[in-house]
Each structure stands twice: as structure tokens, then as C-alpha cells.
A and B are shown apart, each in its own frame.
Chain A
Amino acid sequence: MNSVFLQSLGIVAPGLADWPACRDVMTRQREYQPAPVVRFNPDTLPPNERRRITPTIRIALQAATEALQGGAFAADSMATVFATSNGDLDISDRLCSTLTLPERPVSPVDFHNSVHNAPAGYWSIGCHCRLPSTSLSAGDASFAAGLLESVTQVLCENHPVMLVTYDQPPPPALSTPQTAIIPFAAALLFSQQQDDTSLAELRVALVDQTASTCLQTTSLEAVRLGSPAAQALLLLELLAGGTPAHCVLPYLDTRGLLVDYVPC
């Protein structure tokens, strides 16, 4: 079993502005109240870059910023893994609409933001970080795949890794029963060594077991089911509980990713 230490985290979803707000709902300190996500302004980005970002990029950076600010690691000291199921479908919609027009006036900014590693690129620019970054997808298993990739990188490369998982609701033309219906992003910062600021030890392993877990916080089930990225809530609920526990995240085929949580 592969073990890493969780150092800090961030989350943004409707009615869950940050991790303390999410934790309060999960520990029954307050009722869950859906509310629109407040527009985030990433002030580490130069103004010309800041103007170009899309809502998808924005929520990814928002969750990552909370995790960065909550940890004791320098912004340029961590590799990143960005995991998404849907990608930035607002951009696909605009590009494919534009391509039906006679002159095909594709926006240069839309095209350069259309690469799936655009959120990672903006993050590295804002952090002046030249460590590696991987942008990946595994369909509905994208969060688990991102977690497995992050843990693997921490163990093989011996540097901290920030995992950012995110999905935005697509425009109506590209909506399907499986695409996100709410914006969601979460970020988790992992390191190989335990220190005074470590929140938890996480051990992950692939198991021949489908994800059977659902949230005990029933008021957040609608959030979990509202976005592929929101499977992260299964893991966050372990953290809110604060006692050793485990969950099984949905992975590929009939397998699951078992996560054992031990608080530090």
C-alpha cells in the first residue's frame, strides 16, 4: 500500500466557499445552503493573463490557491496534477460554433485556452513554478486517477504534489446526463514526509471492489452527484470526521481506489 501525507486542501462548490465551510457542514456545525460560487480573482497572475482565464480555469485556480495558502510549502516547490472529466466545454462550444461561420473567426485567446493544460499553465505562471505538471482525465474516474497519479509522483519523484480536480457545467448544447451540473473544484497537497503541519496520512490501493460508499452527509449527496470531480467529497468527509476511516473511490471497470485515512 502506498502512503503519502496530506498537508493542506481547498474546495469550491455551490454553498461550499472553502474547506472550513465544507467541514462545518460535514461535522453538522451548520446546515448546507446552496449558494452561487463567488467569482474568484487570482491576484498572483499578471493582469493580462488574469483577463484571459475562463470560469473552468478560475475554479481550478481557486481551489489550488486555498490549498497553497493553507500549507507551509512555497508556491514554486510543488509539482501539480490537474484532473478533469469534461475539460473546458465552454471553449469547445465557442470554437465549434465559430467554425460554422463563413470566415471562421476563431479567437486566438480561446484557442490558446483550449489546451487541457491551460489551468496548469496559468497556475505555473502565477507560482513561477518550473516543476512538472500533468493534466489528465479518466472519464468518471478522473478524481481517483488524479489521486493515484499524484501519490505515484510523490513516491517516485520525491517532491510535493498538488492535485487539483475540477469540472464546470457545460453549455446546454454539450450537456449530457453525465456532465457536471454544478461547478466543483478541490485541491489536495501531498508530501512524502510527515511534518508538524501534516493533516493526515493517506494510504491508497487499487481494489477489486466497486465504489459503494456514499456520503454520510446526505445534504451534500446532490453536490457529489452534480460533478464528476465531486467524488473528492468522499475523501474530504473522512478528513472532516477526524478519526481513522476509509473510503472506496470509483475507478475504472469494476475496480475501486481504496483510501485509508489516518489523522496526524
Chain B
Amino acid sequence: MPIPGITINARTITNSLGHGVAATWSALRDQRSGLRPCDFDTAGLDTWIGRVDGVEDVTLPARLQRFDCRNSRLALLTLEQDDFTAAAGELRQQYGAARIGVFLGTSTSGIQATELAYRSRDPNSGKLPAWFDLHNTHLIYSGVDFVRELLDFRGPSLAISTACSSSAKVFAAASRYLQAGLCDAALVGGVDSLCLTTLHGFNALQLVSSRPCRPWDRERNGINIGEAAGFALLEREHPGSGAITLRGYGESSDAHQIATPHPEGRGAALAMQRALQRAGLGSGDIDYINLHGTATPSNDASENAALQRVFGQPPAFSSTKGWTGHTLGAAGITEAVIACQAIVHDFVPGTLNTRQPDSSLSTGIVLQGRHQAVRTVLSNSFGFGGSNCSLIFGEPVK
């Protein structure tokens, strides 16, 4: 069934392109990448990463020190951009703290704190250092707990952790809670920060590229891991508010394998079809598709099969992973906000680093960003475990 109109009244993202929405948007306009040769921690891998400058210098408020870890710092840094905290405060004034839900996605939460703790284990007892706080850094709910305390939002809350679809699925969850009347407004978003677990984990699966990633390219050979955070405030639609709307969401499972997408993109196609159905739109109504587009051989082939199944020849489409890297559990919110900006600016971002599109994939991938009318955008996020989510955003309701 169609969702009641939901508007996005404030939004912010921070990633390797910079702090705040404008930094990302100007980089997308200027063909400037956020990727760099891997210089994170002691990773020592021959790959490129999307690291956020300044995370190390962030200090959490004294009362919230227990949450201190790279993930919380990145969350705080992000919330301080785009006047977001002020908008959150106004929302709290308007509805009351108990009526604002918090729905955040993450894949690895603050596991980097655990990595550091294991390096400092007592050699005799094996005990972890006293500073280590499992519940407030490592466990997947810790980020939600931190943000609730920081913003004093007290409504129904949860962390979603479905790998790389995490912070797309929060839009679906929040929509349902708004529809069910469990809250009047919702903070959605996601945070995933660099850690050795994902760098070495994806390396062990031979999925990281030693070069800047090349989505849809015939020589694509893997991802670049990035870190990012993003947040948005959702409310039920007030016509005339001038805000971008969430038109639809579609969720599905691949039921195929944990670490490889369905080769024919069955699950991905279902997610897109369900999003279109919920939005009450046909495939011809979409102006731009922001691909999941990770630049692994299997993802791009699978996503292409799904696109062909749903769209035939798809409308303008591109992947922004060449700018930000694959920000994993934060990819959904990062690309959701890029989708909103595409509508605001009537601009389709290009696909960085891609030189020769794979001729076995759909033609027409947008390589150079361009102006065109963008009223409706579909954004794809697919994750390990076969977890898929597609979101559709639309221009403001008059």
C-alpha cells in the first residue's frame, strides 16, 4: 500500500569529500574524489580508502565520554554540520522528546575500539584494558544510545544492522512507525567508520581494489572502503512545506548466498519493484537511479540484471562510490541525501574513475555529471546476507 507522505526536513552527511552536504555536493559537481591511498591505522593494505579528515580530533561531551570511539566521533562531527543539531532541537520543541524516534544503521559500529583493546590485552591474563567499554562502543545499539542522549530524543528507537543496506532500511522502519502513530517525527541515518575488520575482511574475500574503484567499468575489480555518517529528520507531510518527500521504499532478501548477490539480481529487482509499487509509480516515472554500484564484478553484474528486469533500458543512472568509496552501513543515508540534492539542483552526478563501461552491462551510465530535470530518484542499497533496500525520493508536494 502507498505510504502516507513523509517529508525530509533536515539532512546532513559527512564523508571523505568533506564535512556537511555542501562539501559532498561541490565535490560531485567539480569531479573531485575523496579517495586516497590507504593510510588508516596500521592497515598496510594496497588499496584506496575514503577517510574523513578530523575524526581523531573530535571530543565527546564530558557526560557522554563512555561512548568515545571512532564511530561516535564521526556521528558527532556529522551532527554538528548543516545546522542539524539546531533543527533537531526545534523538532524536540515542537513534538516533545518522547514523540521522536531514532532509527540508525551501522554494520560494524565501534568495533575499532575492540580492535585497539585487543592490541592492549594483558599478555598473561588475556584481559582487555579497563578503558574498554563493550556496551557503549562495540555493540550495534551503542550509536543509537549515544545519539539519543546527545539530542535528547526519547521515542521508539532501534539500530538496524543489515550490512550495506542498514541505513537505507531505517527509512522503511521509520515510515512504518510514523504510519502506525508510534512517533510524530523520526531521526534516521547511519554511521560506519574505518576499522581493520572491514579493511582486512573485504581483503580476505578479495573484494578490495588496489586502485580507485571503477563502477560499471569493464576493468572494475573491487571496492574502496570509506567511512561516513548521515542523518535526516522525517515527519508526516505538510503540503507546501517545500521539503523533499520519501515516496516509497522496497525491501527484499536474495535467499542466495551470504557474500555474493543473486547472479540474476532477483532480490535487487524485487526491492526496486516494491519501491515503485509503494510509490504508485511506473518505471518510466524515475528520472535518475543512484546505483549501489560498488565496482565488484558480481555486484554490478547482478544490479544490471535487476535494472534490466525492472526498467528495460533504465533512465539516467550512476554510482557515486568513486567519490566516497563504499561506506557500507552508511551508504544508504549517504546516497539518500545525494538523491535529495539531485532533486534540489536538477543535477545527475557522474561516475568517477570509470573509463570504459562494461559492454555486457546496460549502456548509458552517466560518467560526467549533468544538469537535467530530476523530479524522482531511486537509490539502491544491497548488502551481505542478501539484504536489499531501494528508496524513492520525490520533489516537494505543491
Binding site for B on A (CB under 8 A): 2, 49, 52, 76, 85-87, 92, 95-97, 99-100, 104-108, 110-118, 120-122, 124-125, 127-139, 142, 145, 148-149, 152-153, 155-158, 172-174, 176, 178-179, 206, 252-253
* Set of chain A residues within 8 Å of B311, measured between Cβ atoms: none
Q: Check A95–B252 contact: CB distance below 8 A.
A: no
Q: Check B258–A121 contact: CB distance below 8 A.
A: yes
Q: Name the one of A116, A128, A149 contacting B140, with C-beta atoms under 8 angstroms.
A: A116
Binding site for A on B (CB under 8 A): 1, 107-108, 111, 114-115, 117-119, 121, 126-128, 134-135, 138-141, 144-145, 148, 154, 156-163, 169, 172-173, 175-177, 179-180, 182, 196-197, 200-205, 251-259, 266-267, 270, 383-387
Distance between Cα atoms of A128 and B257 in the complex (Å): 11
* Set of chain A residues within 8 Å of B128, measured between Cβ atoms: 173-174
Also in contact, A153 and B176, with CB within 8 A (given A138-B141, A138-B158):
yes
* Set of chain B residues within 8 Å of A178, measured between Cβ atoms: 135
Q: Check A121–B197 contact: CB distance below 8 A.
A: no
Distance between Cα atoms of A250 and B375 in the complex (Å): 44
Also in contact, A138 and B255, with CB within 8 A (given A106-B203, A130-B266, A152-B176):
no
Q: Name the one of B126, B200, B202, B205 contacting A99, with C-beta atoms under 8 angstroms.
A: B200
* Set of chain A residues within 8 Å of B139, measured between Cβ atoms: 85-87, 137, 139
Q: Name the one of B173, B175, B177, B259 contacting A112, with C-beta atoms under 8 angstroms.
A: B259
Distance between Cα atoms of A138 and B135 in the complex (Å): 11
Q: Name the one of B141, B197, B384 contacting A96, with C-beta atoms under 8 angstroms.
A: B197
A153 shortest CB reach to chain B, Å = 7
**Could you say which of A112, A149, A206 has the most chain B C-beta atoms within 10 Å of its C-beta?**
A112
* Set of chain B residues within 8 Å of A122, measured between Cβ atoms: 258
Q: Check A100–B270 contact: CB distance below 8 A.
A: no
**Could you say which of B127, B203, B259 has the most chain A C-beta atoms within 10 Å of its C-beta?**
B259
* Set of chain B residues within 8 Å of A104, measured between Cβ atoms: 196, 200
Distance between Cα atoms of A246 and B113 in the complex (Å): 41
B34 shortest CB reach to chain A, Å = 24
Q: Check B255–A116 contact: CB distance below 8 A.
A: no
A sample of 18 inter-chain contacts (CB < 8 A) reads A52-B258, A87-B140, A96-B197, A100-B121, A111-B200, A111-B204, A115-B162, A117-B385, A136-B159, A136-B160, A138-B144, A152-B177, A156-B175, A156-B176, A157-B176, A173-B118, A179-B134, A206-B182
**Could you say which of B119, B127, B182, B383 has the most chain A C-beta atoms within 10 Å of its C-beta?**
B182
Q: Check B201–A125 contact: CB distance below 8 A.
A: no
Q: Name the one of A2, A115, A136, A253 contacting B154, with C-beta atoms under 8 angstroms.
A: A253
Pick the 9 closest A-B CB pairs, nearest first.
Answer: A121-B385, A111-B201, A132-B251, A116-B161, A117-B385, A96-B118, A124-B253, A112-B259, A117-B162
* Set of chain B residues within 8 Å of A105, measured between Cβ atoms: 204
* Set of chain A residues within 8 Å of B140, measured between Cβ atoms: 87, 116, 137
Q: Check A130–B197 contact: CB distance below 8 A.
A: no
* Set of chain A residues within 8 Å of B1, measured between Cβ atoms: 158
* Set of chain A residues within 8 Å of B134, measured between Cβ atoms: 174, 176, 179
Q: Check A137–B141 contact: CB distance below 8 A.
A: yes
* Set of chain B residues within 8 Å of A85, measured between Cβ atoms: 139, 141
Q: Check A115–B135 contact: CB distance below 8 A.
A: no
Distance between Cα atoms of A152 and B178 in the complex (Å): 10
Also in contact, A118 and B141, with CB within 8 A (given A130-B252, A132-B251, A176-B135):
no
Q: Check B384–A125 contact: CB distance below 8 A.
A: no
Q: Check B118–A97 contact: CB distance below 8 A.
A: yes
Q: Check B158–A145 contact: CB distance below 8 A.
A: yes
Q: Check B107–A115 contact: CB distance below 8 A.
A: yes
Also in contact, A106 and B201, with CB within 8 A (given A125-B257, A137-B159):
yes
* Set of chain A residues within 8 Å of B163, measured between Cβ atoms: 115-117
Q: Check B387–A130 contact: CB distance below 8 A.
A: no
Q: Check B173–A148 contact: CB distance below 8 A.
A: no
* Set of chain A residues within 8 Å of B108, measured between Cβ atoms: 114
| Closest chain B residue to A174, Cβ basis | B134
Distance between Cα atoms of A149 and B252 in the complex (Å): 16
* Set of chain A residues within 8 Å of B154, measured between Cβ atoms: 252-253
Q: Check B135–A139 contact: CB distance below 8 A.
A: yes
Q: Check B255–A92 contact: CB distance below 8 A.
A: no
A95 shortest CB reach to chain B, Å = 5
B380 shortest CB reach to chain A, Å = 15
A180 shortest CB reach to chain B, Å = 12
Distance between Cα atoms of A176 and B137 in the complex (Å): 13
Distance between Cα atoms of A153 and B156 in the complex (Å): 14
B70 shortest CB reach to chain A, Å = 14
A255 shortest CB reach to chain B, Å = 8
Q: Check B158–A135 contact: CB distance below 8 A.
A: no
Also in contact, A121 and B384, with CB within 8 A (given A111-B205, A173-B126):
yes
* Set of chain B residues within 8 Å of A157, measured between Cβ atoms: 176
Also in contact, A137 and B270, with CB within 8 A (given A99-B118, A112-B205, A125-B256):
no
